[in-house]
Chains A and B, each alone.
Chain A
Amino acid sequence: MQNTTRLDRRPPATAPPPKGLRKALILVEKGIKEPIWDCRMCGQCILHSTGMSCPMRCPKNLRNGPCGGVLQNGHCEVLNDRQCVWVQAWEGSRKMPIWRGHMAHLQRPVDWRLQETSSWENLLTGRDRYLPAGWRSYETGRHTR
């Protein structure tokens, strides 16, 4: 997709200030996703890949599955009055007609610059597709090896 140039390794443009239309978009996304999914506005939504259970609600921000500390009753080891978000993710994903297999997908590291931005905007602009060059070259290498 892109060459590994020196420029590549520089951060992509950080989120522009949330003004006007952009602010409206953020408010709409947050207004919908927060009450329904307890969305944390990470700006790089993978909700459909995690059984509609937001992984950013995990106190360890795990994007690839539960830690080893999940209690026998399925509750979180940190917030032990709540069910583990990954228990919910697994159960949720089993009920989904599509995207079930996404639970096995390796999710890239979080780009923390996208916090509090709209994942919809980032999807359209491609800002959420940023991958560190090392990660990208490893994946490319895998395919050609």
Chain B
Amino acid sequence: MSDVEPRSRLHRLLLSGEFVVTAELQTTDSADPGSVHHLAEGLRGIVDAVNCTDNSAAHPHISNVAAGKLLLERGIEPIVQFTCRDRNRLALQADLLGAAALGVRNVVMMSGDDVTAGDHPEAKPIYDIDSCHALRIARIMRDEGTYLSGRKLTGPPSFLVGAVENPFAPPVDFRPVRLGKKVEAGAEFVQSQIVFNLERMRVFMARAGELGLPQKAFILGGVFVLRSARAARYLRDQVPGIDVPEETIRRMEGIPAERQAEEGIAIALEIVQQLREMPGIAGVHVMSINWEEVIPRVVEGSGLLPRPAAGP
């Protein structure tokens, strides 16, 4: 990864060896640009880049690319997520090109939650291509300067291409291999599913290390800040693919309701600390649901403030 020209500010920080911090923008359901601008203000100077989700949990929200543009207007670097659920290979390429033209410099490709998980379960899911194909298509556009079809782009995009991986979902032994496929397909950075089960994360990272993946892609660990024991149970029971160990649930339940939020922050701080010490982890991706004001507390509490300046 040496002698590489940085594609984005995030990339520059990763290349410099900085332990990076990214966060997820709360979804908004408003046509008022102020709804995103307001959220952006709360994250300025707190994190290095902010993920703009793509109809997260299969519910429509403000467009991922539009949210990215609104963040850019406030000087915040977006990481725009693209799912394969809502767009075929034509739409994906059009959106990638459009996002790049608007100034987006980080993209993340994923399959996406199924429509049955959302509020339009009757919708037709697309899944023309899978996440590995989407990663490769982004790299073809950038590196070959063509569409997937081979037709030339007059101005190729330049972005850092990212993937996601869930180390905690079965088949767990295959997960590092699958991450290897994503890296081979074109992933240059990876954001992991939420880490509560540190033991499993260590096993995953050890295996990824044996495959040489941390040398080929920057791996960020996902951190979720729990607000209550109820939230912990909700993640475990209602959100597919999230592994919340019994021990975490018990720890939250053992605290009086009014102090559970503080305990959730304490758990998040411990996980950030453990991830920092884990070989091959290049940063953290901090998430919460409808509790955006907690992100600065976790970043500050982890001793990761102030964030470094990263040039233009």
B186 nearest in chain A by CB position: A138
Residues A87 and B131 in contact in the complex (CB < 8 Å), given A69-B114, A109-B89, A134-B140: no
In this complex, how many residues of chain B approach chain A with their Cβ under 8 Å: the count is: 48
In this complex, how many residues of chain A approach chain B with their Cβ under 8 Å: the count is: 43
Give Cα distance in the complex from A86 to B131, angstroms. 15
Say how far B192's CB is from chain A's closest CB, in angstroms: 9
- A63:B169 contact, CB within 8 angstroms: no
Say how far A131's CB is from chain B's closest CB, in angstroms: 10
Residues A72 and B130 in contact in the complex (CB < 8 Å), given A4-B150, A77-B241, A134-B140: no
Specify which chain B residues have a CB less than 8 angstroms from the CB of A135 in the assembled complex: 136, 140, 148
Which residues in window 59-77 of A have CB below 8 A to B?
Answer: 59-74, 77
Residues A60 and B125 in contact in the complex (CB < 8 Å), given A69-B241, A104-B181: yes
- B130:A134 contact, CB within 8 angstroms: no
Specify which chain A residues have a CB less than 8 angstroms from the CB of B149 in the assembled complex: 9, 132-134
- A109:B114 contact, CB within 8 angstroms: no
- B127:A61 contact, CB within 8 angstroms: yes
Among A8, A72, A138, point to the contact of B140 (Cβ < 8 A).
A138
Specify which chain A residues have a CB less than 8 angstroms from the CB of B147 in the assembled complex: 134
Specify which chain B residues have a CB less than 8 angstroms from the CB of A21 in the assembled complex: none
Contact mask for chain B residues 169-207; partner A; CB cutoff 8 A; 1 contact, 0 none: 111011001101100110000000100000000000000
Partner-B contacts on A (CB < 8 A) = 4, 8-9, 59-74, 77-78, 84, 86-87, 90-91, 103-110, 112, 132-138, 141
Partner-A contacts on B (CB < 8 A) = 84-85, 89, 110-114, 116-117, 125, 127-133, 136-137, 139-140, 143-144, 146-151, 164-166, 169-171, 173-174, 177-178, 180-181, 184-185, 193, 240-241, 243
